[in-house]
Amino acid sequence: MNFFLETIQVLLLSMWYSVESFIHLFVPIKRKNIAGEVVLITGAGSGIGRLMAQEFAALGTVLVLWDINQEGMKETARLAKQSGASRVHYYLCDCSDKNEVYRVADQTYKAFLPAMIANNYGHLVSIASSAGLIGVNGLADYCASKFAAVGFAESVGLELLATGKDGIKTTIVCPYFINTGMFDGCQTKWPRLLPILDPDFVAKKIIDAVLTDQVYLLLPRSMYLIAALKNVLQWKLKSLLGSYLGLSLEVDCHTNSSLHYKLQ
């Protein structure tokens, strides 16, 4: 295709995608039916993983649960069955053990993605964090892992589109801090703008994003504006805005190696 024709194609598609987005502001996207589908949830023994299991169970799915916490998974399985899951399977996985990670990896992307590609069907969900979009003072290692998760999910999604596998959907979830055990004691400077998120609210939003094939889910909605500003503001202005929003973090290390986070 020559330069002129390709440029015209891009302009026309850009106009159509913009119109489509505008229409969806008023006309909700139809939610897909996933009854009977197999849903694999890692970290399912507690927190967001457990809540997502219950939400997916209510939609009549077959659940596969992974976690290091055997008792936690048993409880999640019990709750999922009560919520309507047609079948529930759970398996131990210790992500701190490299060999265990490799063993489990052979049963996830390496096993499922080829089958998805062959059938051009499926949905991959990556639970990252707003810290995977914006660096946070005092959380370099945490941000690095979340930036990696976002980059990996974006790359896989783009590769699937480039190879014509548009039947495989991807959803990248980037929430602000969630009120779970990991962030106990966390406070926010401007709770109306950047609230500490309720786990049930986050789980329901993730399910809704999956059912409507939403590629990016940032929570709260103010994160869309903050992430956009991060990419256009000059460095000193970004630093100033970060301080204003309370994205400066103090990390106190105690002898028991636990970390306590407090947003300024």
The owner of tokens 């609230």 is 195
The answer for residues whose C-beta is within 8 angstroms of residue 251's C-beta and 6 or more apart is 138, 139, 259, 260, 261
Catalytic residue, chosen from 90, 109, 121, 142, is 142
* Closest alpha carbon to 133 in 230, 243, 201: 230
Amino acid at 42: T
Q: Is 137 helix (H, G, I), strand (E, B) or coil?
A: strand
Q: For residue 219, list its beta bridge partners.
A: 175
**Which amino acid, residue 26?**
F
Contacts of 173 (CB under 8 A, 6+ apart): 125, 126, 127, 128, 206, 209, 217, 219
- Euclidean distance between CA atoms 211 and 213, whole angstroms: 6
Cβ contacts of residue 15 below 8 Å, gap of 6+?
A: none
Is 216 designated active site? Answer: no
Closest Cα partner for 131 from 202, 223, 41?
223
Contacts of 123 (CB under 8 A, 6+ apart): 168, 169, 170, 171, 210, 213
Cβ–Cβ < 8 Å for 246, 260: no
List, by residue number, the catalytic residues.
142
